[in-house]
Amino acid sequence: MKPEYEPFVEKLIELCIQEDLGDGDHTSLCCIPADQQGRMRLLCKQEGVIAGIEIAERVLRRLDPQVRFEQVLRDGDRVTPGQVAFYVEGRLLSLLQAERILLNIMQRMSGVATQTAVYVARLEGLHTRVLDTRKTTPGMRVLDKMAVKLGGGENHRMGLFDMILLKDNHIDFAGGIRPAIEGARAYLARLGRRLPIECEVRTLEDIDEVFAAGGADRIMFDNFTPEQTRLAVARVAGRCETESSGGITLDTLREYAETGVDFISVGALTHQIRSLDMSLKAC
């Protein structure tokens, strides 16, 4: 896990525990002795890419540092129905309290990783990489981003704080591409910060404006057709990274990649997914 992800993950786990446990797991407390021990297994029930095992262990240890965790699979492994991802042993109260929390996390993360792997496979043999976006579940972005990586994709910026991305609204309100880029450079110089600058373009002529204004680290082609993208890549001519975005589906993904664009950002990696079915059962 990237060090910068740690604070997000810790806060998220704490929130998950608070919202599920409240003032206590009264169902388990009423019928399970406090010192009763047990063993459970995480069973995969669908084919896909598993993700979130590391987070599941953290949830369990946050609730009970004494649990014994026996990992069988690794995050990013391909799984089939019937495979066991891990075994966990310890106080049953702790295991039952963790059950739904870790399942919610792992099922969603595995769904994202599985979806991403499908897109990545479509790009086999090409240099283009698929990127996620900020279209994530509020509060769970860090896990969505981790899952995309486990599925073989790449992460775009985490949020508004780690990259300057001049999109259409910024450009329009700033008065055009030149003032937007010049403003970004002046802002970073004033703060003594070093952040990558990406600029969205809507026409081929916009590309010339970007370079006339001093250039950017990456240019995003917004809602270009594949043929327009091919012309845009040629116009950039390797002077910076290139990215395609907007309305690109699994069916059109490879056609865009064959234009030579460096990255394709796809919101569907995280906002149009189906969670992977799994369960935590006694054994």
Q: Distances from the Cα of 218 to the Cαs of 31, 69, 142, 238, 241, in angstroms?
A: 59, 43, 23, 10, 4
d(CA 45, CA 94): 24
- Cα separation of 63 and 31, whole Å? 19
- Annotated catalytic residue 149: no
Report the alpha-carbon distance of residue 184 to residue 243 in Å, rounded.
19
Residue 135 among the catalytic residues: yes
Q: Which of 135, 178, 230, 254 is catalytic?
A: 135
Active-site option among 134, 167, 178, 235: 167
Q: What is the DSSP string of the chain?
A: --GGGHHHHHHHHHHHHHHHHTT--HHHHHHS-TT-EEEEEEEE-SSEE---HHHHHHHHHHH-TT-EEEE-S-TT-EE-TT-EEEEEEEEHHHHHHHHHHHHHHHHHHHHHHHHHHHHHHHTTTSS-EEE--S---TT-HHHHHHHHHHTT-B---SSTTS-EEE-HHHHHHHTSHHHHHHHHHHHHHHHT----EEEEESSHHHHHHHHHTT--SEEEEES--HHHHHHHHHHHTTSSEEEEESS--HHHHHHHHTTT-SEEE-THHHHS--PPPEEEEE-
Query: Is 124 among the residues known to form the active site?
Result: no
Catalytic residue among 2, 78, 100, 239: 100
Cα–Cα distance, 156 to 12 (Å, whole number): 21
Among 77, 222, 241, 255, the active-site one is 222
Active site residue 45: no
Q: Is 217 a residue of the active site? A: no
Catalytic residue among 198, 200, 206, 243: 200
Look up tokens 């769904």; give the residue.
111
Which residues carry out catalysis?
100, 135, 167, 200, 222
